[in-house]
Amino acid sequence: MCNDILINFFEDGLFAAIAAIGFSSISNTPHHAYLTCAIIAAAGHSLRYALTLPELGSFHIIPASTVASFAIGLLAVLLSSRIKCPAEVCFFPALLPMIPGMYAYRTIEALLSCLYNTQEEVFGHYFYLLTYNGLTCAFIILGMVIGATIPVFLFKKISFTVTR
C-alpha cells in the first residue's frame, strides 16, 4: 500500500511536470526556464496530491490547492533569481496543471442538465450539482491565485530584484 502511494505520488508529479513544460512552450517562456517550471509544477501538484490523501492529511481539494499554490509561488520566487526570470514566468505554467477541469466540466454538464429537465426533483438534483461543482471550481481557482501571489508580496525584495 505504501509503495502504491509513493508510485502515485511520483506519477502525479511527472505528469504535472510534462504539462507544465507544454504550457511553458506555448506561453513564450525562455527555454532555459522549462526545467525549473517542470520541477515547481511537480512539487506543487505532488504536494496537493499528498495533502488530499487520507493517510497523510485528508484535506479537501480547496485548502490543499491553496497550500500547494503557496508552495509553487514560494519555489518560483526562490528559483527565479537562478534562471534570471520573473517569478511569474515559473509559476503560471506550474499552476496550470492544477486548474480544476473536471469540476468546470461537471458544472457545465449540470447547467445543461438543469436547462433540459423540467421535473422539479430532477432539476433540484442537477442544480445542487451545478452549485457544488461551480463553487468548488471557483474556490479552487481563488485559492490558487491567493496562494501563488502571497510569496511574491512576502518576498518583494527577492521577486522584484530579478527583473532589474
According to DSSP, residue 71 is labeled H
- Reply yes or no on whether the pLDDT at 7 is more than 60: yes
Indicate the pTM of the whole model: 0.90
Residue listed under C-alpha cell 509503495 = 3
- Percent share of the chain, pLDDT over 70: 96
pLDDT in tens, 28-37: 899 999 999 9
Query: Which of these, 148, 141, 146, lies nearest to 107 by C-alpha position?
Result: 141
- Reply yes or no on whether the pLDDT at 148 is more than 90: yes
3-state helix, strand, coil in the chain (%, to 5): 85, 0, 15
Phi and psi of 99, rounded to 5°?
A: -60, 130
pLDDT band at 1 (very low <50, low <70, confident <90, very high): low
Lookup: cell for 64 = 490543499
Residue listed under C-alpha cell 461537471 = 106
pLDDT in tens, 8-61: 999 999 999 999 999 999 988 999 999 999 999 999 999 999 999 988 778 999
Q: Which residues contact 42 (CB under 8 A, 6 or more apart)?
A: 13, 14, 16, 17, 20
Lookup: cell for 28 = 513564450
Give me the amino acid identity at 133: N
For residues 29 and 86, what is the distance between their CA atoms, to the nearest angstrom?
Answer: 11
